[in-house]
Structure 1
C-alpha cells in the first residue's frame, strides 16, 4: 500500500509487552529510571564479501561487527532492548507517556519502519483500525513528515556507529554466543548494575572493530541440522540445552527438531 493515513488514538496498545530497541545512551537512561534491559544477539556467516550492488547485504554489514566463529568469518549483530511485560513503565494511567520529551527514537518514529527493506503495513501494527483513517502518513510510498524521515536517518546512523560498541558491550559482560540470523536470538538479561557499569565502560571507549573481533563467538541453535552445518564449515556451535541460568535463554523462530 503506497498511501497510508495515521493519527494516534492514544489507545496505548503500542506501549505494552514490548522489546524496544535502544541506543547506548537511551539504554543508560532507561536503566537509570529502573527499567530492565536485554541483549539480543545473532550472527551471520560472512565467508566472502557480497557483491557491491547487494543493498541488503550492505545494510546488514553496516549494522554488525566482523569477528570469527571457529575458523569461519561471521558478523555479529546485537540489539539492546528495553523489555517489559504489560504496560511500559513510563506509560501513565491516562495512556500518556511520562517521558514524552525524552522518549526513545523508536517511539518517536512509530508507526513508520526503520528498516528500508520492511514495508509499512498497518495490519502488522498494534493500532486499532480507526487510527488509519485520516491524517496523511505516507504518500506514494514516501513518508510525509520530514521530522520522522530525519529521525529514521538518525536511528540508522546510530546503529551503524554503535555496531562494534554493542559487541564490545557483550564481551565486557562475558557474553559471546549468538543465534544464527533469521533462525532466532540468544537473549541475555544481565544484572542491571553489571550492565550499567559495562555501558559506562563501553561508552567511554571509541568503537573498535579490532577489539570487537578479539573474542570468537559460538552459535547456539535448537536444531541439530543447523549446528551440524555450521560445524561442517568451521564454525563453533552447540545445541541449546535447558539451563537454570535466568540471565540466558534461546529464542528460536522454529520448533526444535525431534530427538
Structure 2
C-alpha cells in the first residue's frame, strides 16, 4: 500500500508474545531488568559474491558475517531477541509502557518496516482496524513522520555495524549452529549471566572477524540436509540439535 493512515490506540496487542529484535546495548539493558534474551541464527550459502547491483544481496551481506560450513562459504545472521510469552514485562495494566522513554528502537519504529524489501501491510500487524483510520502515516510509500524515518535509518546502521559483534558473542558462548536462511532459525537460549558477560566483553573489546569459523546447518527437512551435504556443507537434523539451550524454529513442515 502506498497510502496508509495510522495512530496508536494503546491496545497493547503489539506488546504480547514476542521475540523483539534488540541492539547490543538494548540487550544489556533488557538483561539488567531481568528479561530473557535469545539468539536466532540463520546461515546463507554464499559460494560466490553476488553482482554489485543486487541490492537485496548487498543488504543481507551488510547485516551478516562470513564463515564456513564444511567447505561451503556462508554468511551468518544473528538476531538478539527479547523473548516473552504473554504481556511484555514492561507493559503496565493500563497498556502503557513503563520504560517508554528507554524503549527499544524496534518499538519506536512499529508498525513501520525496517527491512526496505518488506512492504508495510496492516494485515501483518497486531493493531486493530480502527488504528488504520486516523492520522496520515504513509503517503506514496514514504513515511510522513520524519522521526520514524530517522529511527529506521539508525536501526539499519546499528544492525550493520553490530553484525561482527554478534558473531563474536556466538564465538564467546560456543554457538555454532544455524538454520538455512528462509527455512527457519536455530534458537539459542544461553544462561543470562553468561550472555550478559559476553555482551559486555564484545562491546568493550571487539575482535577481528573469523571468516574460517565453522558452522553447522540444522534443518527439520531431510532433503535440505542432503542438498547441503552435496555442496560440501555440514548439517544435521533438528532432533539431534535440540537441548535445554538450543531449539529449532522451522517455517515448513518436517520431512
TM-score normalised by length of structure 1 = 0.96
Equivalent in the alignment of 2:178:
178
Q: Is the 8 A contact 1:161 1:207 kept in 2?
A: no
* Other-structure match for 1:5: 5
Aligned length: 255
Aligned to 1:112: 112
Task: Give, in whole Å, the separation in 1 of the partners of 2:206 and 2:190.
Answer: 23
For 1:119-173, what per-residue CA distance to the aligned partner results, in whole angstroms no more than 9, with x for missing partners? 0001110000000001110001000000000000000000000111101111111
Match of 1:236 in 2: 234
The residue correspondences of 1:62-141 to structure 2 (distance < 5 A) are: 62-141=62-141
Shift, 1:243, TM fit: 6.3
Structure 1 residue ranges (4+ consecutive) displaced by more than 4 angstroms after TM superposition: none
Matches within 5 A, 1:138-217: 138-206=138-206, 208-209=208-209, 211=210, 213-217=211-215
Gaps of 5+ in 1: none
Give the deviation of 1:247 after TM superposition.
1.0
- Match of 1:196, SS? helix
1:167-220 residue CA offsets vs partner (Å, 9 max, x unmatched)? 1111111110100000000001111011011111111123532x3x24210101
Q: Which runs of 5+ in 2 are unaligned?
A: none
Partner of 2:216: 218
The answer (yes or no) to whether the contact 2:44–2:180 under 8 Å persists in 1 is yes
Q: Indicate conservation of the 8 Å contact 2:218/2:241, yes or no.
A: no
* Cα 1:69–1:243 shift into 2, 3 Å: closer
